[in-house]
């Protein structure tokens, strides 16, 4: 089997080299891996670093203009060839050493989709309003889609290729997380959760999502509950 790791990146010159080093280093046993980096129009020198990273394991794809995380993931999905697919943010909030935790339920036949929950494992506590927003959106997801997720907004989502068949990401930015969740649940696929570690960034460290993204996420959950 092969794991495709999609790395959307936008202005991450301070972390991109280290996260790629960590992704390379993680031990997946007999499983192959490919790394698909999609630079989403970076202007801070991230591209200069990526030019030195491309090799047989890492493919670098470029957007000439910034289009948003969802667009970068769409590009990555179109290029991915793995049996399993995970998105790895280019910052250092999520630890690639957790990949085996995500993969294990699939290999054991327990799941087609696995979410890494930041609220059930070791973590650097996030800002209160981010925490409250995440918990609220997870609650809304559970009510609308009859599930019991603890962390719908997690960026560690692992999918089998079959689970993603027929799913088209239509949103443009961070609304991708609720859109994918909604469409997976509407397909009748139950999501498996496993604890992961988390080291959240502060806004002055380059964190891009904010409270302003909460309302679009809420609307996305409601919208895709009733439309395809």
Q: What is the pLDDT along the chain (228 residues), one digit of tens a residue?
A: 999 999 999 999 999 999 999 999 999 999 999 999 999 999 999 999 999 887 889 999 999 999 999 999 999 999 999 999 999 999 999 999 999 999 999 999 999 999 999 887 665 566 666 778 888 999 999 999 999 999 999 999 999 999 999 999 998 878 999 999 999 999 999 999 999 998 875 544 444 455 566 788 999 999 999 987
Using only C-alpha atoms, the chain has a radius of gyration, in whole angstroms, of 16
DSSP-derived secondary structure letter, 147: -
pTM (2 d.p.): 0.89
Tokens in use for 166? 């027929």
């Amino acid at each position: 089997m092969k794991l495709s790791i999609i790395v959307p990146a936008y202005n991450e010159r301070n972390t991109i080299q280290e996260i790629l080093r960590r992704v390379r280093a993680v031990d997946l046993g007999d499983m192959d891996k490919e790394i698909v980096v999609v630079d989403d129009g970076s202007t801070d020198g991230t591209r200069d670093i990526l030019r030195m990273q491309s090799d047989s394991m890492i493919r670098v794809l470029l957007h000439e203009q910034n289009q948003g995380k969802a667009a970068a993931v769409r590009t990555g999905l179109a290029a991915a060839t793995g049996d399993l697919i995970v998105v790895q943010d280019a910052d250092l909030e999520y630890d690639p050493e957790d990949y085996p935790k995500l993969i294990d339920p699939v290999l054991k036949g327990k799941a087609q989709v696995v979410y890494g929950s930041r609220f059930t494992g070791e973590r650097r506590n996030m800002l209160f309003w981010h925490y409250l927003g995440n918990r609220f959106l997870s609650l809304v997801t559970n009510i609308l889609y009859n599930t019991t997720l603890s962390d719908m907004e997690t960026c560690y989502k692992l999918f089998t290729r079959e689970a993603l068949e027929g799913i088209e990401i239509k949103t443009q930015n961070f609304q991708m997380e609720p859109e994918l969740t909604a469409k997976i649940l509407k397909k009748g696929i139950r999501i498996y959760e496993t604890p992961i570690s988390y080291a959240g960034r502060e806004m002055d460290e380059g964190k891009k999502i904010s409270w302003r993204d909460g309302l679009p996420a809420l609307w996305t959950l409601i919208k895709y509950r009733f439309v395809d």
